[in-house]
Amino acid sequence: MTTSEQNRTAEQQEREQALVEQVVASFETAKDPRLKQLTQALTRHLHAFLREVRPTEAEWASAIEFLTAAGDITDDKRQEFILLSDVFGASMQTIAINNEAYANATEATVLGPFFVEGSPEIPLGGDISFGAAGQPCWVEGTVTGTDGEPVPGARIEVWEADEDGFYDVQYDDDRMAARGHLVADERGNYRFWAITPTPYPIPHDGPVGALLAAVGRSPMRASHLHFDVRADGKRTLITHIFVRGDELLTSDSVFGVKDSLVHDFVEHPAATPTPDGRDVAGRAWSSVRFDIVLAPAQTGVCA
């Protein structure tokens, strides 16, 4: 029993507990067993939080205003509730629960709020930048299963922010840039041009940003490139790769960094020949190798 509980009379504790039980019981009629479990567990945990922190009515009204503001700023290009889930680590915890460790499978991380359906398809060796500002970056690797066998035809979706720290959907001109998808070849190999990832802040001009500022947390994300990899018979992988040496690796605002996803982005001076002979107009460029390992579909136990 906490000190707060000890300071409350037995009658007060009984009143509060009686309300918890009343609300939990109100969900007994749910026909869907899973819905019943979720609503009753949420009730118990929510009331436990309330009874622990003892909010004033003004504080509870402020919490409701915060959620209302998150809803008001959300639209088809911005999802404030994803940001809220991310900064509380709820997104990463859900990912950990649903992507249990399996052999040497590549680890998963957050989807983020800037995934967009309908990205352009590029050929192997193509360029996803579509004019986005940034240093050219050559990305290559293989897609295999945990048995080491290639996964031919794996669909690889990639997207990232430009060098100014913005995704295409954050601009007002309906551009589609720094995103695309490609298909691994018959040996599971893939390769494409992107732009070298750079740090950027999550949108912090709304209620989530105000919350971070109030508690002294930075909105900055470590430099990364998003991947969504899918293949028949394999567990879908949503992940990033991060730039080794980035000073934000230990303070990523959405807790998305995992050591296994930190890679060397090798810098190449201007005039260095590129792997495919591409002319990068005398610019410096970078390269990274990311070998992807997919777990079997519907894995539910560690291996």
pLDDT on residue 4: 58
Q: Average pLDDT for residues 196-225, to the nearest whole number?
A: 97
What torsion do the CA atoms of 248, 213, 81, 92 make, to the nearest 10 degrees?
A: 30
Of 169, 167, 228, which Cα lies nearest the Cα of 201? 167
Q: What percent of the chain shows pLDDT beyond 70?
A: 96
pLDDT on residue 76: 82
DSSP-derived 3-state class of residue 13: helix
pLDDT on residue 299: 55
pLDDT at 1 over 60: no
Question: Which amino acid would we find at residue 15?
Answer: R
Q: Let me know if domain 83-294 sits in CATH 2.60.130.10.
A: yes
pLDDT on residue 7: 72
pLDDT on residue 78: 85
Question: Which amino acid would we find at residue 2?
Answer: T
pLDDT at 184 over 50: yes
Q: Average pLDDT for residues 25-48, to the nearest whole number?
A: 98
112 confidence band (pLDDT: 50, 70, 90): confident
Q: Please provide the size of the chain in residues.
A: 303
pLDDT on residue 93: 97
pLDDT at 211 over 60: yes
pLDDT on residue 98: 93
pLDDT on residue 77: 78
Provide the mean pLDDT of the chain: 95
Q: Average pLDDT for residues 194-201, to the nearest whole number?
A: 97
